[in-house]
Chains A and B, each alone.
Chain A
Amino acid sequence: MVQLFPFTAIVGQDEMKRALLIAAVDQTVGGVLVFGDRGTGKSTAVRALAALLPKIEMVQGCNYHCDPAQAGRDCDTTCPANLAGNDAIQVERCPVPVVDLPLGATEDRVVGALDLEKALARGERVFEPGLLAMANRGFLYIDEVNLLEDHLVDVLLDVAATGENVVEREGLSIKHPARFVLVGSGNPEEGELRPQLLDRFGLSVEVTTPQSIEARIEVVKRRDAFEQDPQGFIAKWAQEEAEQRERIEAARSICWTVEVPDAVLGKAAELCMALGTDGLRGELSLIRAARAHAAVDGRETAMLVDLKAVAPLALRHRLRRDPLEEAGSSARIDRALEEFLGE
């Protein structure tokens, strides 16, 4: 078993942690894209987040871990809720799934395909669910997302847009729910992302190596301590991790009731207009992220500070590219924030 470095022990990288927490609290914000230098702990952070995610209720035996409250309405015919009826289902509590889409994965394993074993041995035509099914209601993590093969990107785009995976292959005709939060990480030096894929990410983060010597020293020290004695290190951080987990649970429970005053909505709209972000998606994820941010802080009302904290995350990757602009997207957002929110 591979030991995971605790999320709370990651030095600095506040923006990345904030984005991941927001996604954990409100999955409708959309995915998180983490782009940055080598060795900044991108994948460490994403994998560590899995340990903090709360348990959710699911129908036992369902390939897509569907929600008992939905009683199979969303699910396909193999779901126990549809096979045996609503009263017969067992409910289990499991952690929110975090599924890794490894490099070199083939399409059949991503979308699901004919179960080869059953087909060969028994001549049965059975659908074997793929990674998209496993990620339903959870997270799908793609490291080195800019190296993902084009035909897989096409599949992801289609499924992410509809929340449904339609499989038409090998004589199978299957449709199953596949709603997941896409989390991608990569190094911009390996190339850019397709704009359509970029658009699927609600939040984007640019991580850089910590610049201060002190922070760097702390990174190396913690890493060294972790390698020297993983169990001991994890035990040392267990308290912090538990607290963080509780904060996420608490935030999840209040997130939907957090109020967003008209003043905040207005400012959000002004900001998006001024920056010329394409479409409504940016504004929507901006507001949702601000709400989740307030929830993480334990507040019942979203405020301008929330907007300010999440605006770079929600809008950075939605700005029209202006290659001749030296400053980059973050600086433009900062300028606009200053203009509209004062200070």
Chain B
Amino acid sequence: MNARADIDTVWRDALTAAKLFAIDPLGLGGIRVRAAAGPVRDAWLEACRGFLPDKTFMRMPAQISEGRLVGELDLAGTLKNGRPVHQPGLISAADDGVLIATMAERLEPSTAAVLASALDQRTIAVERDGISARAPARIAIVALDEGIGDDEAVASIIADRLAFHIELTAVPLRCVSSQPAGPGAISSARDALKQVEVPHESIDALVATAAALGISSIRPALFALRAAKAAAALRGSARVMEEDLQLGARLVLAARATQIPTPLEAVEPGQEEDTSTQHEPDKAEGKDTLDSDNKPLEDVVLEAVTAAIPNDLLARLCQETSVHSRAGKTSGLAGPARKSRMRGRPNGVQRGEWGRGARLSIVDTLRAAAPWQRLRASPAGAQPIDCPSHGHIKVRPEDFRFRRHAHRSEALTVFIVDASGSSALHRLAEAKGAVELLLADCYVRRDHVALIALRGRTAEIVLPPTRALARAKRGLAGLPGGGGTPLASGIEQGLRLSLAARRRDQHPNLVILTDGAANVARDGTTGRRRAEEDALNAGRHALQQGLPALLIDTAPIPSAFAGRLAEEMHAKYFALPMANAEAVSSIVKSALAQTVKRE
């Protein structure tokens, strides 16, 4: 298959996914679209709207406030009417429609969790601002993911609940073609959907396929089944056939694969000796059995999916067995870090004065004002009035209540660990121990940790930033060492993670554990001099970005180069020939305490 045909398939599949989604928006949950903003994405979105003429599409910005999302008190209405007026949130406004989440990779975890719960329950519960309400929320979500690399992506609790994950990044505009489906086709398929029968063996095949691809969640298999049903309905068939299963599995499961299935021959020896791998699916209606060959249905479906695993994913899966290998591309980093203003989680309210950036809590202000309305309505306090000043509420400065925000002073500690040379295994083990000790100690303070291993030609992000001990353990288990020391590439990766963390309002720190024997240059070539020069350069970059760093020299005799690198980076330097987990974690902790200001 040549590249052009490949790209065409990607685009066609994206349109097919949109069509199937249009047939069963609630059942399929939605679509994650990974693409940069641009004409290709717009064209796809336009096509998607075209398939769903009867649904409203509402845009949701990533930084939407919780109040706007689930509903809150309507200030204008409340003041006008003299009684609390509830303004429904975006989720209930989008009931029976589609929410377009823009920049979905930037969703706050709490926003993502609210959306996930709406997708699950199809209702939304509001318990805020004195409002207690339940509203239907039969929403589907199109998540526009502009993330680059694997560290920036839609929160997994959302991604898991959206049937299709499509990637349009590689699709050039010239491949974009429209593929109109008459609205009649979609709506008649919708009517037919309920009647579509599912043969038992097709469920078996989909579940087995998902398992063979290493997909641990059970939702994708269910989504693949629903997609297959929608495909059958679209064809006008009353029964899910092999081709529907293949399509459903391909569209839903391929992008989620975490492992390459064991070769089919190995699974079913002697089952198929024939060379006819490419067979026409039997479309004959009324035929009762599904399998057109003597091949088990599972294998047929699995084959279709394996063929459709995206190339880059395939390459990555082949290269590494670990899911956590994050050999992301170096992203074009956007500008200097944005300083946080009044962000952070709300943390109660307090009295106060108008000040710079202070945010008024309307409800609490009204609450404070409410009991005094009668008194204020009659200045002398003389004659009682039935209705307090005809629906106007008198608010005085002493009623003002402001939102308090817990300022997030989360820290991210990026460990760059030299996993090469003679003491590699030992050093790596101790670094892992230190990371876990730090995490165990940090979880109250919500600090994050990441680990980059230097081995072979490039540095590799072994553990993307996380504060979950469980995840860290899984990521660190069975990490092998050996190979060269690409120190420059390691510092670069660390810098990249750190800058990404700054954009999330975290304070990044670098901790480098090395014996100073850098021998792989930035471009992957070996050679001590180039390697050292590159490492020093990378160190200077880190300094320019004002990144606090700590260098732990693990060489038996303190290395001159490590000392020099620390100097260039303005890093704190410790010589620790026999670095052990406790010592490393206590050094890091005390260094952190100095660099990160906490409240």
A interface residues, Cβ below 8 angstroms from B = 2, 37-40, 43, 100-110, 113-117, 119-121, 123, 125, 128, 130-131, 143-144, 147, 149-151, 170-171, 187-192, 194-195, 209-210, 213, 216-217, 219-221, 223-224, 227-228, 321, 323-324, 326, 328
Residue of A nearest to B374 (CB): A123
Given A39-B160, A101-B127, A119-B367; 12 other pairs, CB 8 A cutoff: A2-B121, A108-B363, A109-B127, A116-B130, A120-B83, A123-B374, A144-B157, A147-B110, A170-B368, A192-B468, A220-B206, A323-B473
Question: Across the interface, do B371 and A125 meet the contact criterion of CB distance under 8 Å?
Answer: yes
Residues of A within 8 A of B524 (CB): none
B218 x A131 contact (CB < 8 A): no
Complex contact B160–A224 (CB within 8 A): no
The smallest C-beta distance from A144 to any residue of chain B, in angstroms, reads: 4
Q: Please name all residues of chain B whose beta carbon is closer than 8 Å to the beta carbon of A149 when the two chains form the complex.
A: 110, 345-347
Could you tell me the distance between the alpha carbons of A39 and B219 in the complex, rounded to whole angstroms?
Answer: 6
Q: Are A128 and B373 in contact (CB under 8 A)?
A: no
- With both beta carbons as reference points, the residue of chain A lying nearest to B438 in the complex is identified as A323
Q: Shortest beta-carbon distance, B217 to chain A, in Å?
A: 4
Q: Which residues of B are in contact with A by a Cβ distance under 8 Å?
A: 27, 66, 69-70, 78, 82-84, 109-110, 113-114, 116-117, 120-132, 156-157, 160, 194, 198, 200, 203-204, 206-208, 210-211, 216-219, 221-222, 225, 345-348, 363-364, 366-368, 370-371, 373-374, 388, 393, 406, 433, 436-437, 439-440, 443-444, 446, 466-471, 473, 477, 581
User: Using Cβ atoms and an 8 Å threshold, which residues of chain A touch B364?
Assistant: 108
Residues of chain B with a CB closer than 8 A to A116's CB? 84, 130, 363, 366-367, 370
B66 pairs with A104, CB closer than 8 A? yes
Cα–Cα, bound, A192→B444 (Å): 8
A104 touches which of B70, B363, B439 (Cβ 8 Å): B70
Of the candidates B82, B207, B406, the one whose C-beta lies within 8 Å of that of A150 is B406
Q: What separation, in Å, do the CA atoms of A19 and B85 have in the docked complex?
A: 42
Q: Cβ of B440: which chain A residues have Cβ within 8 Å of it?
A: 321, 323
Distance between Cα atoms of A314 and B580 in the complex (Å): 34
Q: Which residues of A contact B114 (CB under 8 A)?
A: 102-104
| Bound Cα distance A37, B130 (Å) | 34
Nearest B-chain residue to A44, judged by Cβ: B120
Task: Tell me, in angstroms, the Cα distance from A101 to B132 when the chains sit together.
Answer: 11
* Distance between Cα atoms of A115 and B198 in the complex (Å): 53
Quick one: given A192-B443, A323-B436, are A103 and B132 in contact (CB under 8 Å)?
A: no
**Which residue of A has the minimal Cβ distance to B70?**
A104
Q: How far, in angstroms, from A119 to B367 measured CA to CA in the complex?
A: 8
9 A-B pairs with CB atoms under 8 Å apart are: A103-B110, A104-B127, A128-B130, A149-B347, A187-B157, A194-B444, A195-B444, A216-B218, A219-B218
Contact of A38 among B207, B219, B347, B477 (CB under 8 A): B219
Determine whether the beta carbon of B345 is less than 8 Å from that of A150: yes
- Closest CB in chain B relative to A91 CB, distance in Å: 26
With contact pairs A104-B70, A104-B110, A147-B109 given, residues A40 and B207 touching in the complex (Cβ less than 8 Å)? no
Q: Would B129 and A117 count as touching, CB distance under 8 A?
A: no
What separation, in Å, do the CA atoms of A149 and B367 have in the docked complex? 22
Asked, given contacts A120-B373, A223-B222, whether A324 binds B437 with beta carbons under 8 Å apart, the answer is yes
Q: Is there contact, CB below 8 Å, between A170 and B367?
A: yes
Q: Report whether A40 and B130 are in contact in the complex, using a CB–CB cutoff of 8 Å.
A: no
- B-side interface mostly: helix
Distance to closest chain B CB from A288 (angstroms): 28
Contact check, B469 vs A192: say whether CB atoms are below 8 A apart.
yes
Distance in angstroms from B556 CB to nearest chain A CB is 24
A109's partner among B124, B132, B406, B439 (CB-CB below 8 A) is: B132
The one of A102, A150, A151 that contacts B126, using a Cβ cutoff of 8 Å: A102
In the bound complex, do residue B436 and residue A38 qualify as a contact, i.e. CB atoms below 8 Å apart? no
Q: Are B217 and A217 in contact (CB under 8 A)?
A: no
- Nearest-neighbor residue (CB-CB) of B212 within chain A: A213
Residues of A within 8 A of B218 (CB): 39-40, 209-210, 216, 219-220
Q: Do A213 and B208 have beta carbons less than 8 Å apart?
A: yes
A243 CA / B384 CA spacing, docked (Å)? 61
9 shortest A-B CB distances, which residue pairs?
A119-B370, A323-B436, A106-B128, A102-B125, A109-B127, A192-B443, A105-B127, A123-B374, A39-B217
In the bound complex, residues from chain A placing their C-beta under 8 Å from that of B70 are: 102, 104
Across the interface, do A323 and B225 meet the contact criterion of CB distance under 8 Å?
no
Q: How far is the CA of A177 from the CA of B219 in the complex (A)?
A: 41
Best-surrounded residue of A39, A125, A149, A224 (most CB of chain B within 10 A): A39
Partner of A144, one of B66, B117, B130, B436: B117
Q: A194 — which chain B residues lie within 8 A by C-beta?
A: 444
Q: How many angstroms between the C-alpha atoms of A271 and B391 in the bound complex?
A: 66
What is the minimal beta-carbon distance from B496 to any residue of chain A, in angstroms?
Answer: 22
Q: Which residue of B lies closest to A206 (CB)?
A: B470
Cβ contacts under 8 Å, B444 to chain A: 194-195
**Given known contacts A104-B128, A188-B470, A323-B436, A120 and B363 CB-to-CB distance under 8 angstroms:** no
Given known A-B contacts A105-B127, A213-B207, A220-B225, A323 and B345 have beta carbons under 8 A apart = no
If A103-B113, A114-B371, A147-B113 touch, does A190 touch B130 (CB 8 Å cutoff)? no
Complex contact B82–A108 (CB within 8 A): no
Q: With A and B bound together, what is the CA distance between A128 and B157 in angstroms?
A: 34
Shortest distance between the CB of B376 and any CB in chain A (Å): 10
Would you call B113 and A191 a contact (CB within 8 A)?
Answer: no
Name the B residues within 8 Å of A131 (CB-CB): 127
Is the CB–CB distance between B127 and A37 below 8 Å? no
Complexed CA–CA distance, A43 and B113 (Å): 13
Q: Which residues of A contact B388 (CB under 8 A)?
A: 120, 123
For residue B206, which residue of chain A has the nearest CB? A220
Contact B439 A323 (CB under 8 A): yes
In the docked arrangement, what's the CA distance between A195 and B26, Å? 38
The reply to whether A143 and B117 contact each other, CB–CB distance below 8 Å, is: yes
A38, A104, A130: the one within 8 Å of B156 (CB): A38
User: Do residues A191 and B84 form an inter-chain contact, with CB atoms below 8 A?
Assistant: no
Which residue, of A104, A195, A324, has the highest number of chain B Cβ atoms within 10 A? A104
A113, A209, A224: the one within 8 Å of B367 (CB): A113
